[in-house]
Structure 1
């Protein structure tokens, strides 16, 4: 099979070149709030036979500041991150707030040349629900629950053997360190979701999550399906909010099957 070399040089008076047999398509991976790029380690390994993975390290990473909110929209941060990927992106995978940021980017008029878009556990808002104090307070509880689940995921087996009082203290310390800005950053994305213009999006989209997950509970999933006709929803009650870590093999299988179908279409 003829191909252009990826590198060539003249060495000791002779031509040397490096070729590449497997021209794997690129997959860009966007993490969620108070997480980081390394959360995609396992999923990237499972995708490695099909894709060359490029996990992005976004400013809403764990331990970061929230100055990014005043400097650009989350959609603009997505645009900037994708421009840094050194190869054309075939598949974009985004989790939680990262997924919502991609939705904001699309709604702003972005028209990416992607083979497939994968949204993992996004937060969506039903337009039938008003943004009131009851919703605000309820989402604070959901926020704390999701962040607690994230800590359990990072601890792995240790979380099951740890003294409950010690774990509760770790949760309190984690939430205190995040502060209200972390909650507000996610609530802004959540409450604005139903006003996003997504009906024009033509990129084949797969939404992966659980029907029990706070972001897709009840009519929230129905609202996303109605607002984004290009989206196909795969909701499995066995999946957690952090399905790309805890159910990585199942998620990888769904991504590969969906991307293969639309790349060959």
Structure 2
């Protein structure tokens, strides 16, 4: 019987590139109580030019005890440091997306291995502190088990009986505990303070139209706040777009990755998509963001 303690961060190469030349190194980071298995549908469909790496993070499954004692971005830093070289693209889902965003806010530090681009899936984001209130805190506290249950539903492909799924979700919730939940919510609460306007690399922000955890408006709001970002919301998808809409998800991510590998057009500062996104952001910023509503 193996009695050695589990490693908090385990990084593995999930797939080599299928084309000659220097591959685009992509690091995939899962969300709270998730695992690297969530990326399997994408690994089957990812662009052949990509070399995929996954990280099992300390908030995986039932979690590594004490992970919440360190900020989430510190664990991202550890995952990046375990790669053979700096990642070209970092992809994060849910709490993992917020961990990536917090990590990117440290990009001016000398030791930081800044990627060329980032993909954030179902991120939690509110641009102003006043967008948080007691109702928001109550929602995420009381719906926490529902979100975990939905994750189990998706990962099991609907094979778990509802009562079994709810019992498993309760056990995962209790293992995460109040301190783990507080680490999640504290990371969320800090999003208005992140210097997103200084994050100049290209971003793709993906969300699900029926997501009950990370609302689509928050994905759009984050894309507006970043200098070079495009938001895409997949209709009729929830919190796990990479599984629920695997083909559409892969198409969107592969399209974004190809913009990082293709040589820039002469005298073109941005792609057409970036230009459209910039126009959208310019228009959107004329609106009063303080009027944003969250379900």
Q: Same fold (TM over 0.5)?
A: yes
CA distance in 2 between counterparts of 1:174 and 1:88 reads: 33
What's the Cα RMSD here? 2.3
Q: State how many pairs are aligned.
A: 242
In the alignment, what sits opposite 2:267? none
In the alignment, what sits opposite 1:10? none
SS at match of 1:199: helix
TM-score of the aligned structures, taking structure 1 as reference length:
0.81
Q: CA deviation at 1:81?
A: 1.0
CA distance in 1 between counterparts of 2:33 and 2:209 reads: 23
Please say which structure displays the higher CA radius of gyration.
Answer: 1
Q: CA deviation at 1:118?
A: 0.6
Q: Is the 8 A contact 1:120 1:207 kept in 2?
A: yes
**1:40-90 CA distances to partner (integer Å, 9 max, x unpaired)?**
1221222162311100121111122342332x3211221221121113422
CA distance in 2 between counterparts of 1:130 and 1:249 reads: 34
CA distance in 1 between counterparts of 2:214 and 2:221 reads: 9
CA distance in 1 between counterparts of 2:65 and 2:136 reads: 23
Unaligned runs of 5+ in 1: 1-19
Q: Is the 8 A contact 1:199 1:229 kept in 2?
A: yes
Mapping for residues 83-98 of structure 1, pairs under 5 Å: 83-98=81-96
SS at match of 2:73: helix
Mapping for residues 146-157 of structure 1, pairs under 5 Å: 146-157=147-158
**1:90-147 CA distances to partner (integer Å, 9 max, x unpaired)?**
2211111110011111123356543321111111124164543322111113422221
Q: Which has the higher contact order (CA 8 A, sep 6+)?
A: 1
**1:162-212 CA distances to partner (integer Å, 9 max, x unpaired)?**
2x3343333333323332233222111111111111101111000011244
In the alignment, what sits opposite 1:43? 42
Mapping for residues 1-265 of structure 1, pairs under 5 Å: 21-47=20-46, 49-70=48-69, 72-110=70-108, 112-127=113-128, 129-159=130-160, 162=161, 164-217=162-215, 219-264=217-262, 265=264
